[in-house]
């Protein structure tokens, strides 16, 4: 099977298996309630999986609809269409549309946080020559499938209603092209599943990106699929609120790294692990986030710490990286403050009151010592220690040469 798949046309690509696992694991992190009940319904699983796969289909056929499908400006138009045409309780075909939307947004959030955290660490610790020749997305997808298990190709379905939405965003794409892209994603899952069962193939991919491929199940590493599922679940609750008429902005921050009150013991500012991250509920206007004084860090006593603030993928993305410009102080409590005035890419939400996130450089206590973490004071909907995925999409097989196009990091 593996040899046969290698002879497929050059639109085959990889990454879908890890995306599928993230969406499936995210279901388990959704608290009891209407959203959890919805996700447990018979009939929504296949639509969720198809939506989770969908954004990469455009890369497979060389069309920009895929890039557009990763981001809220397109996703928000689809959300608005669902609200107008299929209101709750989603007891008709609207349930499939909602599940597909949740899958698309899982994919977009996963890509952003993975690239901002796990991929940045891979750039620091995996061989530079691998980045020049090979696909980290493909390698980690196969390696993760070898540990977690292969993906499952769902019966192909995608909403034709997306075609006029792409037109609204200034892009025309045909039904036939999108349908072909979705079909190729199923082939990608089949390839990764087959490759993950061949030891020599897994070993080859692992040798390309040894750090990334061997740390995807490490609970101490930022950017793993299991952690990303926590962020996706929090994001889904934002989307569920918006589908029901809310603005999705009652808690502008849905997670941080480290989590509020968490331990951050890497002091060296040149080490990628000294960075902090904040994930917002909606896509941002980076000019308001990166403005001087918009996000600050100070000791608990009020002494400012110089930091660089970066909305990782710029306009309409959610993940803000905070890099210390000097070493963190030993055994010191800090507070990140998100100041009023930051707003979403479409100005639909603005931070009205300051949000604080405490963390410390004190070493975490041993298991038998009392837990004495900093006070939990955070305007977050949910906290998380890390997130990420072996997502993406580049094939390095003979005749295959596609790569997931990443926005330049802002």
Give residue 400's pLDDT.
29
**Distance in angstroms (rounded) separating the CA atoms of residues 2 and 173:** 31
Give residue 265's pLDDT.
72
Stretch 21-46: mean pLDDT, rounded? 96
The pair of structure tokens assigned to 66 is 């895929």
Residue of higher predicted confidence among 264 and 205: 205
Taking CA atoms, 15 is separated from 126, 184, 357, 387, in Å, by: 19, 12, 33, 16
Q: Provide the percentage of residues in the chain whose pLDDT is more than 90.
A: 79
CB half-sphere exposure, 20, CA atoms < 13 A: 27
As beta bridge partners, residue 66 has none
Query: 203 pLDDT exceeds 80?
Result: yes
Phi/psi at 355 (nearest 5 deg)? Answer: -115, 130
As beta bridge partners, residue 338 has 295, 355
Tell me the torsion sign for CA atoms 92, 76, 352, 115: positive
Q: What is the pLDDT of residues 163-178, one digit of tens each?
A: 999 999 999 999 999 9
Whole-model pTM: value is: 0.89
251-360 to CATH, choices 3.40.50.2300, 3.40.50.970, 2.60.40.1220, 3.20.20.140 = 2.60.40.1220
Stretch 262-267: mean pLDDT, rounded? 85
Q: What is the pLDDT of residues 109-121, one digit of tens each?
A: 999 999 999 999 9
Whether the ω angle into residue 396 lies within 30 degrees of 0, i.e. cis, is: no
Query: 25 pLDDT exceeds 50?
Result: yes
Q: What is the mean pLDDT of the chain?
A: 88
Stretch 9-32: mean pLDDT, rounded? 80
Give residue 410's pLDDT.
73
Query: 271 pLDDT exceeds 80?
Result: yes
Q: What is the pLDDT of residues 346-391, one digit of tens each?
A: 999 999 999 999 999 998 876 655 555 444 444 444 334 332 332 2
Stretch 266-274: mean pLDDT, rounded? 95
Give residue 405's pLDDT.
65
Give residue 381's pLDDT.
41
Give residue 371's pLDDT.
52
What ranges do the domains of the chain cover?
2-214, 251-360
Q: What is the pLDDT of residues 281-299, one digit of tens each?
A: 999 999 999 999 999 999 9
Query: 197 pLDDT exceeds 80?
Result: yes
Give every CB contact of residue 274 below 8 A, 6+ residues apart in sequence: 264, 266, 267, 268, 323, 324, 327, 328
3-state secondary structure of 333: strand
Query: 395 pLDDT exceeds 70?
Result: no
Query: 243 pLDDT exceeds 50?
Result: yes
Stretch 2-11: mean pLDDT, rounded? 40
Phi/psi at 234 (nearest 5 deg)? Answer: -65, -40
Least confident of 8-22, 176-190, 231-245, 357-371: 8-22
Q: What is the pLDDT of residues 52-108, one digit of tens each?
A: 999 999 999 999 999 999 999 999 999 999 999 999 999 889 999 999 999 999 999
Give residue 383's pLDDT.
38
pLDDT confidence tier of residue 13, bands split at 50, 70 and 90: very low
DSSP string computed for 233-245? HHHHHHHHHHHTT
3-state secondary structure of 336: strand
Q: Provide the percentage of residues in the chain whose pLDDT is more than 70.
A: 87
Give residue 401's pLDDT.
30
Give residue 276's pLDDT.
96
Stretch 146-151: mean pLDDT, rounded? 94
């Amino acid at each position: 099977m593996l040899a046969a798949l290698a002879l497929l046309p050059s639109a085959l690509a990889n990454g879908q298996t890890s995306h599928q696992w993230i969406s499936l694991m995210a279901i388990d992190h959704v608290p009891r309630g209407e959203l959890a009940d919805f996700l447990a319904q018979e009939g929504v699983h296949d639509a969720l999986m198809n939506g989770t796969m969908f954004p990469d289909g455009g890369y497979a056929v060389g069309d920009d609809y895929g890039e557009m499908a990763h981001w809220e400006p397109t996703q928000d138009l689809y959300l608005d269409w669902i609200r107008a045409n299929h209101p709750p309780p989603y007891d008709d075909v609207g349930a499939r549309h909602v599940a597909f939307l949740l899958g698309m947004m899982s994919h977009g959030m996963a890509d952003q946080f993975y690239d901002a955290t796990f991929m940045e660490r891979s750039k620091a610790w995996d061989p530079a020559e691998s980045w020049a020749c090979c696909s980290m997305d493909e390698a980690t997808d196969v390696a993760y499938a070898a540990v977690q298990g292969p993906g499952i190709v769902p019966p192909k379905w995608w909403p034709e209603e997306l075609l006029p939405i792409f037109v609204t965003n200034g892009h025309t794409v045909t039904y036939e092209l999108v349908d072909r892209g979705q079909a190729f994603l199923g082939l990608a899952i089949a390839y990764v599943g087959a490759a993950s069962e061949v030891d020599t193939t897994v070993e080859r991919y692992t040798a390309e990106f040894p750090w990334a491929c061997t740390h995807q199940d490490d609970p101490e590493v930022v950017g793993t699929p299991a952690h990303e599922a926590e962020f996706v679940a929090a994001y889904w609750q934002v989307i569920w609120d918006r589908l029901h008429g809310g603005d999705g902005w009652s808690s502008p921050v849905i997670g941080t790294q480290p989590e509020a009150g968490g331990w951050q013991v890497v002091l060296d500012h040149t080490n990628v692990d000294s960075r902090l991250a904040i994930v917002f509920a909606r896509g941002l206007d980076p000019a308001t986030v990166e403005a001087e004084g918009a996000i600050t860090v100070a000791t608990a006593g009020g002494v400012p710490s110089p930091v660089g603030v970066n909305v990782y993928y710029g306009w309409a993305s959610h993940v803000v990286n905070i890099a210390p410009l000097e070493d963190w102080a030993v055994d010191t409590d800090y507070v990140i403050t998100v100041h009023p005035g930051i707003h979403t890419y479409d100005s639909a939400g603005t931070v009205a009151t300051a949000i604080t996130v405490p963390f410390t450089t004190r070493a975490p206590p041993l298991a038998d010592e009392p837990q004495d973490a900093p006070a939990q004071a955070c305007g977050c909907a949910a906290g998380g220690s890390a997130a990420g995925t072996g997502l993406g999409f580049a094939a390095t097989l003979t005749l295959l040469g596609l790569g997931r196009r990443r926005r330049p990091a802002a």
